[in-house]
Structure 1
């Protein structure tokens, strides 16, 4: 992953910058080719996930079946920083790991949202009550290339202010905490991989686009 080029940062307003991420692709000398999908079957589908079973054939003739693909909608992850340099963190129970985990505001891109940035704004407000007039896109990465085609879209919410009350889903219980930026950087608060990725992309943004200050 490389971050470079004269158009890397482009000023959009007094305190907002556009962060552009370019991803380099290495060409393999092994002549690796995509698998041929011989057949597909939907094993499970609901509002959250679609489980697809593919029967595939490699270019050398090897048959791989079934190969399960988990089709999720795209996700967003938001690193919100207040004017005085605190990061807005959320703590909630995560049943997948049966643990209480601290992380960043995040969620699923709904069809009703006006794209990933709209989702980022909605999730930030719904989970924390915070909003930001300076939402900076940090880039998008695959959630899990092995068996998930969805992307995670990362955003930096600068000058985040508490302007409302959280509107949680019925199954959500979220505590909101403000932690200084330097403490978040130096302490392993974040234990989810895409939340850590968001933190590192924000660090790159500050290093390249706004090295003097984080607010």
Structure 2
């Protein structure tokens, strides 16, 4: 009898195999940094582009936010619950329930190392098992920011004396909740969660849970 409880993942062939993002960089005539702040900058590139109707080439200015990238963590405990934390986000004028996350701004630090660090700093947790969930560009027309999302399992608490980090500003008001993964999915679909990494991470983790996470690649900074 066929098992209808799990999705069938078929091999990608034919035209659908062509649908995959790929690195590419058009020539930049010149580039100018307009602003540099603590977390990101603003830059204008003058990019060589095809002319109208394919007639020659032209140069167009493109403004964008220059961002170091970020890592977000779907921390799943042994009861199948995902950790979400409430934090004030001033640009949106909202308090948002989000996954633990942070900027990839440590010296020589890759996305996985950032994820491990942020899980300790924001949640006082470590994870023995890490898998890679889909990464994404949250605003491709405006920013080069890339957010890497990880699934963290086999969690354990970190003793307070081992945490060399002091929360400040918005992080002093963090509140935490553990939601069963199906309830977290419901919160996304009902429009109660709006943070991009949280929405993508929860839906991806739920999809991956259907085969016990067997299809997920192990996380690595290599």
Shorter-chain TM band: 0.7 to 0.9
Partner of 2:4: none
TM-score of the two chains, using structure 2 as the length reference: 0.73
Task: Judge which range, 55-64 or 77-86, deviates more.
Answer: 55-64
Matched, 1:148 2:148: no
Distance 2:121 2:89 in 1: 18
Question: Whole-Å Cα distance in 2 between the matches of residues 201 and 95 of structure 1?
Answer: 27
Q: Which of 152, 157, 171 is matched with 1:162 structurally? A: 157
Structure 1 counterpart of 2:194, from 191, 211, 215: 191
CA distance in 1, matches of 2:212, 2:108: 28
What is aligned with 1:102? 97
Cα gap change, 1:145 to 1:24, in 2 (>3 Å):
farther
Deviation larger for 194-203 or 118-127: 194-203
Question: How far 1:206 moved relative to its partner?
Answer: 1.2
Alignment of 1:1-215 (within 5 A): 25-26=18-19, 35-60=26-51, 61-65=57-61, 67-112=62-107, 114-165=109-160, 167-171=165-169, 172=171, 173-188=173-188, 189-210=192-213
Q: Quick one: distance in 1 between partners of 2:109 and 2:26?
A: 34
- The Cα of 1:168 is off from its aligned counterpart by 4.6
Q: Measure the CA separation in 2 of the matches of 1:115 and 1:194.
A: 18
CA distance in 1, matches of 2:76, 2:25: 42
State the Cα RMSD in Å.
Answer: 2.8
Gaps of 5+ in 1: 6-22, 28-32
Cα distance, 1:79 vs. partner?
0.6
Aligned equivalents of 2:176 and 2:166: distance in 1?
12
Q: Quote the offset at 1:25 in angstroms.
A: 4.5
How far residue 190 of structure 1 moved from its aligned partner, in angstroms, is: 2.5
Partner SS, residue 169 of structure 1: coil
Deviates more, 1:167-176 or 1:50-59: 167-176
Residues 164 and 139 of structure 1, relative CA distance in 2, 3 Å threshold: farther
Structure 1 SS opposite 2:47: strand
Shift of 1:34: 6.2
Q: 1:29-63: CA deviations, max 9, x gaps?
A: xxxx9654222111112331121112233211344
Paired residue total: 187
Give the TM-score of the pair, scaled to structure 1. 0.75
For 1:150, what is the secondary structure of its paired residue?
A: coil
Stretch moving more, 88-97 or 148-157? 148-157
Unaligned segments of structure 2, at least 5 residues: 1-8, 52-56, 215-222
